[in-house]
């Protein structure tokens, strides 16, 4: 048996306790229970286990402490619990990740969910650890290969960067995270599925990641039907697992789907503990909770690797001022906004480039690459400003050379942004340069403008916009199309 396995076995044995402090259920009030007899021994966050009279067990966590009793939030409904039931006190909130967890699906307590035996690691870690000291953290590192044209160019991800994916429901957050999990350069991938659908888990492991993706991944999962304690713990466990590998000097990619579910789980726990709701129903501690989680991702300290973090956020109706989105944006080094309208016309990933930013630019790209990105963004911006006119068929080609170029380049840029098997960043920049060169050299086919520049009406303004690709209609008016 390898030394590492022996160490793990030792840790497993050391984790066994012959004796536990015992208390009794003294009251059940709503979702929480009061336990007497453990006030001197219990700490906030410790685990508790109630043994019901029918022999079944109900676990939970210490949520409050008082001189005469402690408050417990159970992991499930307290049905069948009776006054006087025995309650045992267990270890504090730690987790002992092991290198042998790579390729496995675990729950937030480190137990296997794939039916195979699993061994805990030799060294327990705090679930809610501090980030590396700020003054000793590495700088953001080199650009990572992502396999996706849009992330290779416009929205680069560098080692230790933290970015958010913001989108409404069903716009493609999980699919994009899955594609990044497969393709982004990393030694180990830790995927936290927090409060998402149970049916997605197996499909994700077997079909989306597949054996090749799983060979470098660990999935930590808590599905939507589980208690808020378990869902909230899922994010902390995934982060502790990522830190375990980072401390060995490895480059870790941490993907969390979604931070909104983490915040919602915290809201349930905090309100059960008596905290008052404030920010649109979220208690005031939500902000600290999200920030302290995300701050643990990012560059490691000296001799450590980095945790590159990608966090998905559900924003209802693309409302970026919604509390969780607002809090998260403050702590991230970039945000990717996905747009339902783009998804509805079938372009995936449905990223709205003009609303998305990677703060690793301009440093993550060379001068010439930044120049290309500047040109492309300027054209996209020009189109965006005149989009309503163009869509209404009110723009006469030839009125504004920059806009003409933007209209010409759009279909190709749109296809470019959807490229998911795009090769290296260099390949993607070569493609982008080619698209821009072609658009610049293509002859303008419209009639000469009467005004110097700008859009002007040439058609009946009441005519409804027509969907479809860009076309010159012979009279200089451009058929409408959707652009972002």
Ligand X SMILES: Nc1ncnc2c1ncn2[C@@H]1O[C@H](COP(=O)(O)OP(=O)(O)OP(=O)(O)O)[C@@H](O)[C@H]1O
**Residues near ligand X, by CB under 6 A:** 167, 169-175, 314, 348
Tell me if 148 contacts Mg ion by CB under 5 A: no
Nearer to ligand X, 172 or 213 (CB): 172
Q: One symbol per residue from 167 to 186: x for binding Mg ion (CB under 5 A), - otherwise; what is it?
A: -------x------------
246, interface contact from Mg ion, ligand X, none, CB < 5-8 Å by kind: none
Q: What is the size of the binding site for Mg ion (CB under 5 A)?
A: 1
Taking the complex as a whole, the smallest distance from the CB of residue 172 to ligand X amounts, in Å, to: 3
Taking the complex as a whole, the smallest distance from the CB of residue 255 to Mg ion amounts, in Å, to: 12
Query: Are residues 218 and 203 in contact, defined by beta-carbon separation less than 8 angstroms?
Result: no
Nearer to Mg ion, 174 or 386 (CB): 174
Element (H, E) at 22: strand 22-29
109, interface contact from Mg ion, ligand X, none, CB < 5-8 Å by kind: none
390, interface contact from Mg ion, ligand X, none, CB < 5-8 Å by kind: none
Taking the complex as a whole, the smallest distance from the CB of residue 173 to Mg ion amounts, in Å, to: 5
* CA-based R_g, the chain, Å: 27
Nearer to ligand X, 88 or 174 (CB): 174
56, interface contact from ligand X, Mg ion, none, CB < 5-8 Å by kind: none
Taking the complex as a whole, the smallest distance from the CB of residue 194 to ligand X amounts, in Å, to: 11
175, interface contact from Mg ion, ligand X, none, CB < 5-8 Å by kind: ligand X
Taking the complex as a whole, the smallest distance from the CB of residue 200 to Mg ion amounts, in Å, to: 7
Taking the complex as a whole, the smallest distance from the CB of residue 365 to Mg ion amounts, in Å, to: 30
Q: Which of residues 17-36 bind Mg ion (CB under 5 A)?
A: none
Nearer to Mg ion, 148 or 174 (CB): 174
Taking the complex as a whole, the smallest distance from the CB of residue 370 to ligand X amounts, in Å, to: 28
Nearer to ligand X, 109 or 348 (CB): 348
Taking the complex as a whole, the smallest distance from the CB of residue 74 to ligand X amounts, in Å, to: 27
170, interface contact from Mg ion, ligand X, none, CB < 5-8 Å by kind: ligand X
Nearer to ligand X, 169 or 426 (CB): 169
Nearer to ligand X, 39 or 175 (CB): 175
Nearer to Mg ion, 174 or 428 (CB): 174
**Which positions lie near Mg ion, rule CB under 5 A?**
174
């Amino acid at each position: 048996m390898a030394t590492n396995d022996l160490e793990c076995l030792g840790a497993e044995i050391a984790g066994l306790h012959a004796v536990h402090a015992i208390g009794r259920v003294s009251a059940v009030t709503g979702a929480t229970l009061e336990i007497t007899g453990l006030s001197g021994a219990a700490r906030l966050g410790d685990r508790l286990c109630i043994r019901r009279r029918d022999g079944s067990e109900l676990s939970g966590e210490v949520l409050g402490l008082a001189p005469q009793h402690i408050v417990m939030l159970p992991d499930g409904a307290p049905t069948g619990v009776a006054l006087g039931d025995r309650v045992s006190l267990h270890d504090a909130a730690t987790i002992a990740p092991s290198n042998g967890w790579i390729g496995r699906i675990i729950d937030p307590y480190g137990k296997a969910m794939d039916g195979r035996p699993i061994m805990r690691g030799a060294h327990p870690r705090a679930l809610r650890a501090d980030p590396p000291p700020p003054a000793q953290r590495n700088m953001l590192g080199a650009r990572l290969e992502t396999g996706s044209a849009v992330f290779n160019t416009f929205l680069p991800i560098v080692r230790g960067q933290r970015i958010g994916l913001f989108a409404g429901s069903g716009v493609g957050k999980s699919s994009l995270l899955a594609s990044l999990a497969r393709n982004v350069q990393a030694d180990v991938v830790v995927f936290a599925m927090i409060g998402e659908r149970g049916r997605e888990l197996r499909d994700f492991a077997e079909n989306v990641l597949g054996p090749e993706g799983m060979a470098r991944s660990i999935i930590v999962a808590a599905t939507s039907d589980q208690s808020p304690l378990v869902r909230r713990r899922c994010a902390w466990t995934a982060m502790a697992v990522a830190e375990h590998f980072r401390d060995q000097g490895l480059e870790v990619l941490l993907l969390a789907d979604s931070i909104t579910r983490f915040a919602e789980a915290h809201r349930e726990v905090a309100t059960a503990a008596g905290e008052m709701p404030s920010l649109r129903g979220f208690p005031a501690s939500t902000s600290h909770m999200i920030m302290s989680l995300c701050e643990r991702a990012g560059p490691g300290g000296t001799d450590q690797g980095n945790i590159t973090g990608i966090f998905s956020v559900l924003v209802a109706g693309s409302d970026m001022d919604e509390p969780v989105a607002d809090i998260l944006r403050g702590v991230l080094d970039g945000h990717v906004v996905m747009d339902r309208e783009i998804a509805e016309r079938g372009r995936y990933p449905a990223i709205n480039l003009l609303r998305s930013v990677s703060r690793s630019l301009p440093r993550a790209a060379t001068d010439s690459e930044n120049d290309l990105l500047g040109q492309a963004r300027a054209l996209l911006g020009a189109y965006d400003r005149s989009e309503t006119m163009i869509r209404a068929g009110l723009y006469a080609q030839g009125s504004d050379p920059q806009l003409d170029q933007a209209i010409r380049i759009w279909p190709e840029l749109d296809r470019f942004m959807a490229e998911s098997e795009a090769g290296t960043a260099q390949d993607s920049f070569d493609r982008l340069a080619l698209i821009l060169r072609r658009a610049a050299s293509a002859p303008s086919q419209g009639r000469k403008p009467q005004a110097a520049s700008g859009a002007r009406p040439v058609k009946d303004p009441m005519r409804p916009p027509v969907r479809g690709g860009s076309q010159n209609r012979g009279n200089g008016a451009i058929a409408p199309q959707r652009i972002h």
